[in-house]
A and B are shown apart, each in its own frame.
Chain A
Amino acid sequence: MTTVERVRLVGEGVDRVDGPLKATGAARYPNDFNLPDMAHAALVRSTVAAGRVRGLDTAAAESSPGVLAVITHRNAPSLGHGPDTILSTPPPPLQHDRILHYGQYLAVVVADTAEEATAAARRIKVDYDEAEALLDMHDPRAEVLVDPFKTDSDRGDAESALAAAEVQFEAAYTTSENTNSPLGLFTTVAAWDGDTLTVHDSTQWPGNVRTALARVFGLPENAVRVLAPFVGGGFGAGLRPWPHVVLAALAARTVGRPVKLVLSRPEMFTGTGHRTASEQRVRIGATRDGHLVALHHESTTTLQMEGDNFEPCASGTSYAYACPNLRTRDTQVRLNITWCNSMRAPGEAQGNFALESAMDELAYALGIDPLELRLRNYAEEHPGLGLPWSSKALRECYEVGAERFGWSRRDPEPGSMRDGDQLIGYGMAGVSFFWFQQPCQASATLREDGTALVRSAVTDIGTGTYTVMTQLSAELLGLPLSRVAFELGDSDMPEGAPAGGSGLTAGLGSAVQSACHNLVRAFLDIVRHDHTSPLRGCEVDEVAVADGRIFRMGSPGRGESYTDLLAAHGLHELTADGAATPGTSEELGIAPAGAFGAKFVEIRVDPELGTLHLERVVSAIDAGRILNEKTATSQILGGTVGGIGMALFEETVTDRDTGRIANGTFGDYLIPVNADIPDMQVIFVGRPDRFNPVGVKGVGEIGLVGMSAAIANAIHHATGRRLRSLPLTIDMLL
């Protein structure tokens, strides 16, 4: 069979297989599903951040035109709790009168039309017993969670090494809350048939939503089916089964009709999670010639009152550089805020801003080129595990990126490079992304017409999963692309991994590889004792596949086509399952590497008006094997745009006194527009990864990481000003 060693690093940039469906509008997103006799739901949200519901006047809503039901904590049935997986499921809604955050759901109104439901929902009057909300992460009353992710690390003697260091550096950095803001408003369409439930949902993980709904409603798992063939983006927002999903299903059961619930944009801001704010402190001890001797990174992020959020900002520093003495600390503070949740590059996005700004500051303090400083502290092996990396081409990222960018043209003196009245800034940052992979399953079927169908209950949230898995399956089965279909987005399919943590392609790719190998093995099994078959007695590692045929390795003439094999044995199709669980570093003797990258940016600052214009961005990325050059490049470009948003624009503002999201609309919460986006170049370097059977490391998030630091570093280069708080806005540059 084809092995990783023989594949090219960068796979062909074939067009998206689902492109025509999307371009013609034939791709159906959750919001595109309308069922016969469907009713519509609208939500009532708390307008206080803490306290209790004293009174709920639903009379006017109940008598509003078209209203079928009004469900509140007073008449809602008792519901079970969803699973706690990599992220906990929020508690089921409407179970009590307690309010823990602004925007918490207090009622759901079901009516014949969405307009009627919304109008009636507005007629519900809520009286509160308001309690004082904890909204400030420095509030001494707030609960502090120490080492909540069990990722804190210590190496050597970080305190003494810092105290004894020739050069000491210390600075504090802050980042703002950001909101994922996928374009597709999250939608749930729920329909019951007796005791079985079918749900169309905007999710990144159908299997998890199925388990959650089964537990909430006390059903066997196979009584729930979750469908998400197309999802209008997620950026992490679709990783948890949110309370509105439960409410849509509850509404449908209550009125005995299918129910559709589409969140509004303001509801997206309070109901589908956000990237937490962070406050971080970095302390570095170094020798005068730029060798790190001590590295301290502390981070505090915010957390909602119940449940968890995986957001380690400091821990990534433990493997970013070779440094004998290290200490990382992550803490969380519980507040009466809306749910915190993964947003593209959780933890890493914030942590990298602090670390890579600090490295730039240190470079200036030492008079060493920032790129050179990073190379002097290059971690040749995994600093925590002391094992060789499964793959690491960060040095190549630096070198190729710098070359392409023209870093050598940079005059290090701040304010020295100009274009008329505009100040020019060059900035860079390095990125060592975390490794993440989840178990995954897939199935592969070959049919008598010679086509293959490969399936897994995963999602393609716009990343290109349909396309790259079609390519991979075609390669593994030796079929042309046009003969392979990949299906996903249905919880009845083999259990899929979440589209998160940049781990889907690695996990799913491994499962698809396993399924395809098993399918070839199944074909070999049917001819195992067939004396007429040239493949008789062959093992899977003795054959190769091409052009719809299996043949003995090295002897293309000695084989049979899939269709002949099926026909000869009277089969319409043959199916095999595959499963993959990531290995461990103990087994493999190598440290699993995430992607690596180097970001280079050029900016212009108008020193009088404080305006900043990005000129260009070069991203050099080592993500192991790239399955499809086009879709992978798009991921890096999209990530870079997200990084520009985080660096320059995005800030979810919470009212200090009420906990209300003060800018929860697209008119108020700024994300970049085309005019803000410069020329962006992406270069892939490195080799297929050795930890992952397919050789991939994932490209979903790394594109975002490093942008904030690279821009802040470029601002320092342009203006001499060091900005340590995101987003970097005009008022800071005046």
Chain B
Amino acid sequence: MHEFEYLRADEVGRAVATVAGDPGASYLAGGTTQLDLMKDGVLAPDRLVDITRLPLGGIACDGDMLHVGAVTTMEELAADRTVAERLPFLRQALLLGASVQLRNMATIGGNLLQRTRCRYFRDPAVSACNKRLRGSGCAAVHGAARMHAILGASQHCIAVHASDMAVPLVALDAVVRLLGRHGERSVPLTEFYLLPGDTPDVENVLSRGELITAVEIPLLAPETRSTYLKVRDRASYEFALTSAAVALRLDGGVIGEARVALGGVGTVPWRAPAAEAVLRGAPAGEEAFTAAAEAAVVDPFTVEGTAFKVELAKRTLVRALRTVTAGAP
């Protein structure tokens, strides 16, 4: 491994100043993405600034808003009572991700910024990767693709954003709180991620050294039903082939509010507003579910190994909708 300096930040402002002022510096949270990529030779920072001792932990509820500090671990968030009661599909998504060992290390901020699992990105012996080196091409498009995106993808990049947690979070209109050299700002998660276009190396709106300090998550109204369905090749410890996060309010068999997002298929966590529009005001039933699924998966970009995901993603959403409405009065 490339030699690097390890710094333990003790003050938020200094951490930001250090990373913002040094192109060779990176934040280190749980390290479950960052250190892997360093060992694989994909990342080679000169300096790691450990943020896990900064006062950025803690979960606080303020009315209908949950404030989650960026260094809160996935397990801590999953164990939170408010999350269990008011955001059950977020809890499901957290607990279906990775393994308990990883979830005890992995942080919420780091989870949002986890890098794609694409093996062509993660292996520097592969020269064609637009995400690693802009303009170098995409080996995955002609390669062994399975865990890859079909939405927001193109010849330039089919790397999936693999976070489970981010799927319910985009459905919830969560907001990320950022602190940069020029101060604080808030960005809705749905605007935080950038589609790859022809610059897949630019994944989000963060400027150099900008730190995620917290995530603000609007709670679901008590009568909302929600579920997260993850379809994967093995029964645990595996990323999604497809997933669906669904939250609905039903009023006498008619769908009121609807929140829908898909995972495992998008280059970014995939909110599906068109599906929500189909569902809103429709009677809960197969017809609406199928129409929503059709509306959710539009203009997919597939390669040989990912073609099956078009149908699977639709069926996953239909199943999630059926599950979430089952037994409704």
Which A positions have Cβ atoms within 8 angstroms of B? 47, 65, 115, 118-119, 122, 266, 608-611, 613, 648-649, 653, 655-657, 660, 662-663, 665, 667-668, 670, 672-676, 729-731, 734
Minimal beta-carbon separation of A553 from chain B (angstroms): 57
B316 within 8 A of A: yes
Q: Which residues of B contact A655 (CB under 8 A)?
A: 139, 143-144
B233 within 8 A of A: yes
Q: Are B143 and A662 in contact (CB under 8 A)?
A: yes
- Not counting A655-B143, A674-B236, A734-B308, a sample of 13 additional A-B residue pairs whose C-beta atoms are within 8 angstroms of each other reads A119-B2, A122-B2, A266-B123, A608-B318, A655-B139, A656-B142, A662-B119, A663-B144, A665-B122, A668-B119, A670-B233, A730-B231, A734-B311
Give the interface residue-count category, chain B.
20 to 34
Interface of B is mostly: loop
Q: Which residues of B contact A657 (CB under 8 A)?
A: 142-143
Q: Which residues of B contact A670 (CB under 8 A)?
A: 233-234, 238
Q: Are A122 and B235 in contact (CB under 8 A)?
A: no
Partner of B312, one of A266, A609, A668: A609
Measured between alpha carbons, how far is A610 from B315 in the docked complex, in Å? Answer: 10
B241 within 8 A of A: yes
Which B positions have Cβ atoms within 8 angstroms of A? 1-3, 41, 117, 119-120, 122-123, 125-126, 139, 142-144, 147, 231, 233-238, 241, 308, 311-312, 315-316, 318-319
Q: Are A675 and B117 in contact (CB under 8 A)?
A: no
Q: Are B231 and A47 in contact (CB under 8 A)?
A: no
Minimal beta-carbon separation of A5 from chain B (angstroms): 47
Q: Are B231 and A609 in contact (CB under 8 A)?
A: yes
Name, among A609, A653, A673, the residue most crowded by chain B CB atoms within 10 Å (CB to CB).
A609
Q: Which residues of A contact B241 (CB under 8 A)?
A: 730
Q: Which residues of B contact A613 (CB under 8 A)?
A: 235
Q: Which residues of B contact A611 (CB under 8 A)?
A: 231
Q: Are A609 and B315 in contact (CB under 8 A)?
A: yes
Minimal beta-carbon separation of A343 from chain B (angstroms): 20
Instruction: Report, nearest first, the 7 A-B pairs whose CB atoms are least far apart.
Output: A675-B235, A731-B308, A662-B144, A675-B236, A653-B144, A47-B125, A676-B235
Q: Are B144 and A676 in contact (CB under 8 A)?
A: no
Q: Are A609 and B316 in contact (CB under 8 A)?
A: yes
Q: Which residues of B contact A734 (CB under 8 A)?
A: 308, 311-312, 315
Q: Are A668 and B234 in contact (CB under 8 A)?
A: no
Measured between alpha carbons, how far is A667 from B233 in the docked complex, in Å? Answer: 12
Measured between alpha carbons, how far is A304 from B126 in the docked complex, in Å? Answer: 22
Q: Which residues of A contact B231 (CB under 8 A)?
A: 609, 611, 730
Q: Which residues of A contact B233 (CB under 8 A)?
A: 649, 670, 729-730
Which B residue's beta carbon lies closest to that of A266? B123
Q: Are B234 and A649 in contact (CB under 8 A)?
A: yes
Minimal beta-carbon separation of A675 from chain B (angstroms): 4
What are 17 of the A-B contact pairs (CB < 8 Å)?
A115-B3, A266-B123, A611-B231, A648-B234, A649-B233, A656-B142, A660-B125, A662-B119, A665-B119, A665-B122, A668-B119, A670-B233, A673-B234, A729-B233, A730-B241, A730-B308, A730-B312
Q: Are A119 and B3 in contact (CB under 8 A)?
A: yes
Q: Are B119 and A663 in contact (CB under 8 A)?
A: yes
Name, among B120, B143, B311, B318, the residue most crowded by chain A CB atoms within 10 Å (CB to CB).
B143
Which B residue's beta carbon lies closest to that of A45? B125
Q: Are B3 and A668 in contact (CB under 8 A)?
A: no
Measured between alpha carbons, how far is A730 from B308 in the docked complex, in Å? Answer: 9
Which A residue's beta carbon lies closest to that of B99? A673
Partner of A676, one of B120, B143, B234: B234
Minimal beta-carbon separation of B127 from chain A (angstroms): 9
Q: Which residues of B contact A667 (CB under 8 A)?
A: 117
Q: Which residues of A contact B3 (CB under 8 A)?
A: 65, 115, 119
Q: Which residues of B contact A610 (CB under 8 A)?
A: 312
Minimal beta-carbon separation of B313 from chain A (angstroms): 11
Q: Which residues of B contact A648 (CB under 8 A)?
A: 234
Which B residue's beta carbon lies closest to that of A653? B144
Which A residue's beta carbon lies closest to that of B316? A609
Q: Which residues of A contact B315 (CB under 8 A)?
A: 608-609, 734
Measured between alpha carbons, how far is A609 from B315 in the docked complex, in Å? Answer: 7
Measured between alpha carbons, how far is A202 from B3 in the docked complex, in Å? Answer: 30
Q: Which residues of A contact B41 (CB under 8 A)?
A: 122
Measured between alpha carbons, how far is A731 from B315 in the docked complex, in Å? Answer: 12
Minimal beta-carbon separation of B149 from chain A (angstroms): 16
Which B residue's beta carbon lies closest to that of A677? B235
Measured between alpha carbons, how far is A731 from B302 in the docked complex, in Å? Answer: 14
Which A residue's beta carbon lies closest to that of B312? A734
Minimal beta-carbon separation of B238 from chain A (angstroms): 7
Q: Are B237 and A673 in contact (CB under 8 A)?
A: yes
Q: Which residues of B contact A609 (CB under 8 A)?
A: 231, 312, 315-316, 319
Measured between alpha carbons, how far is A670 from B238 in the docked complex, in Å? Answer: 8
Minimal beta-carbon separation of B286 from chain A (angstroms): 12
Measured between alpha carbons, how far is A119 from B2 in the docked complex, in Å? Answer: 6
Known: A119-B2, A655-B143, A730-B312. A672 touches B117 (CB 8 A): no
Which A residue's beta carbon lies closest to that of B122? A665
Q: Are A668 and B236 in contact (CB under 8 A)?
A: no
Q: Are A118 and B125 in contact (CB under 8 A)?
A: no
Partner of B234, one of A65, A656, A663, A675: A675
Q: Are A673 and B236 in contact (CB under 8 A)?
A: yes
Q: Which residues of B contact A674 (CB under 8 A)?
A: 236
Minimal beta-carbon separation of B240 from chain A (angstroms): 11
Measured between alpha carbons, how far is A729 from B234 in the docked complex, in Å? Answer: 10
Q: Are A608 and B1 in contact (CB under 8 A)?
A: no
Measured between alpha carbons, how far is A47 from B122 in the docked complex, in Å? Answer: 15
Q: Which residues of B contact A118 (CB under 8 A)?
A: 1
Measured between alpha carbons, how far is A730 from B233 in the docked complex, in Å? Answer: 7
Q: Which residues of B contact A660 (CB under 8 A)?
A: 123, 125-126
Q: Which residues of A contact B236 (CB under 8 A)?
A: 673-676
Which A residue's beta carbon lies closest to that of B124? A122
Minimal beta-carbon separation of B101 from chain A (angstroms): 13
Minimal beta-carbon separation of B233 from chain A (angstroms): 6
Measured between alpha carbons, how far is A650 from B142 in the docked complex, in Å? Answer: 21
Measured between alpha carbons, how far is A596 from B275 in the docked complex, in Å? Answer: 55
Minimal beta-carbon separation of A678 from chain B (angstroms): 10
Measured between alpha carbons, how far is A47 from B120 in the docked complex, in Å? Answer: 13
Name, among B144, B147, B319, the residue most crowded by chain A CB atoms within 10 Å (CB to CB).
B144
Which B residue's beta carbon lies closest to that of A655? B143
Minimal beta-carbon separation of B208 from chain A (angstroms): 26
Q: Which residues of B contact A730 (CB under 8 A)?
A: 231, 233, 241, 308, 312
Minimal beta-carbon separation of A181 from chain B (angstroms): 14
Partner of A668, one of B117, B318, B319: B117
Minimal beta-carbon separation of B41 from chain A (angstroms): 6
Measured between alpha carbons, how far is A676 from B233 in the docked complex, in Å? Answer: 10
Minimal beta-carbon separation of B144 from chain A (angstroms): 4
Measured between alpha carbons, how far is A730 from B241 in the docked complex, in Å? Answer: 9
Measured between alpha carbons, how far is A194 from B308 in the docked complex, in Å? Answer: 62
Q: Which residues of B contact A653 (CB under 8 A)?
A: 144
Q: Which residues of B contact A47 (CB under 8 A)?
A: 125
Measured between alpha carbons, how far is A145 from B122 in the docked complex, in Å? Answer: 37
Q: Which residues of B contact A65 (CB under 8 A)?
A: 3
Measured between alpha carbons, how far is A609 from B242 in the docked complex, in Å? Answer: 10
Q: Which residues of B contact A266 (CB under 8 A)?
A: 123
Q: Which residues of A contact B120 (CB under 8 A)?
A: 662
Q: Which residues of B contact A665 (CB under 8 A)?
A: 119, 122
Q: Which residues of A contact B238 (CB under 8 A)?
A: 670, 673
Measured between alpha carbons, how far is A648 from B235 in the docked complex, in Å? Answer: 11
Q: Are A608 and B319 in contact (CB under 8 A)?
A: yes
Q: Which residues of A contact B316 (CB under 8 A)?
A: 609
Q: Are B126 and A673 in contact (CB under 8 A)?
A: no
Minimal beta-carbon separation of A109 from chain B (angstroms): 13
Measured between alpha carbons, how far is A676 from B147 in the docked complex, in Å? Answer: 19
Measured between alpha carbons, how far is A119 from B241 in the docked complex, in Å? Answer: 35
Minimal beta-carbon separation of B161 from chain A (angstroms): 16
Q: Which residues of B contact A608 (CB under 8 A)?
A: 315, 318-319
Measured between alpha carbons, how far is A610 from B319 in the docked complex, in Å? Answer: 12
Measured between alpha carbons, how far is A122 from B3 in the docked complex, in Å? Answer: 13
Measured between alpha carbons, how far is A557 from B301 in the docked complex, in Å? Answer: 86
Minimal beta-carbon separation of A489 from chain B (angstroms): 31
